A and B are shown apart, each in its own frame.
Chain A
Amino acid sequence: GAVVSQHPSWVICKSGTSVKIECRSLDFQATTMFWYRQFPKQSLMLMATSNEGSKATYEQGVEKDKFLINHASLTLSTLTVTSAHPEDSSFYICSARDYFSGANVLTFGAGSRLTVL
């Protein structure tokens, strides 16, 4: 079945630095990927929709300059948290849809836990 690889699985960084998280579809092409943020014991909050070859579509309230998304190929999307601060600490999850599967079913990465000191 479809597999999405997300790296790193966890990262600790100092306040003010930038962190990049990668999301790869391993055995299918993903024209669209989604990035979510999840707080402990809460649901997923959609941050943005990443479209291959075009600009990402951000949800209301999500800072575009803070969370940079690049979808340069059909199998890779990256999320860069710029100038990270402790309040950016969270669990970030990506997902992708296998366009040719015929159903809007998402395959998720394992998530990346970001801790900003």
Chain B
Amino acid sequence: SQQGEEDPQALSIQEGENATMNCSYKTSINNLQWYRQNSGRGLVHLILIRSNEREKHSGRLRVTLDTSKKSSSLLITASRAADTASYFCATDGGGGGNKLTFGTGTQLKVEL
């Protein structure tokens, strides 16, 4: 079952602006991950944040995690047209099977 809810469902911004996507989840986690999917393609792992971490950076990506609120955010700074894609959060509950539960996704469009 999908436990992650993401908002907004769709986001359209101009190149150079920052894009923020939010993810909420329902159960305890070991870590939370963000993936990107270009249209009609598989997903690509972007960044992982562990449950004992509050913020993590990778290039133009900044991820925050608030376990008390069961929420995470992904910030893409200085967006580019090439950032246009769908972004999914995924939670790792740490149970057997290594299953990740994916959120509903945010469709980001960066316009020139």
* Interface set of A (CB-CB < 8 Å, partner B): 4, 6, 32, 34, 41-46, 49, 57, 91, 93, 95, 97, 103-111, 113
Contacts and interface: CB of A to CB of B under 8 A. Distances in A.
Binding site of B, secondary structure by majority: helix, strand, loop or mixed? Answer: strand
Contacts of A97: 98
Given A43-B2, A44-B88, A109 B103 contact: no
Contacts, number: 59
A110 B40 CA distance: 8
A49 B97 contact: yes
Contacts of A91: 40
Given A34-B99, A93-B43, A107-B45, 20 more contacts: A6-B42, A41-B86, A43-B4, A43-B102, A44-B43, A44-B88, A44-B102, A45-B2, A46-B99, A46-B102, A49-B97, A49-B99, A95-B43, A106-B45, A108-B35, A108-B42, A108-B43, A108-B44, A111-B40, A111-B41
Specify which of A4, A41, A104, A108 lies most central, judged by the most chain B CB atoms within 10 Å of its CB: A104
Given A43-B2, A43-B105, A110 B100 contact: no
Contacts of A57: 97
Given A43-B88, A91-B40, A111-B40, A105 B99 contact: no
Interface of B: 2, 4, 30-31, 33, 35, 40-45, 48, 86, 88, 90, 92, 97-105, 107
A46 B45 CA distance: 17
A104 B102 contact: no
A104 B43 contact: no
B98 A109 contact: no
A32 B101 CA distance: 16
Specify which of A4, A46, A57, A91 lies most central, judged by the most chain B CB atoms within 10 Å of its CB: A46
A49 B44 CA distance: 19
B46 to A, nearest CB: 10
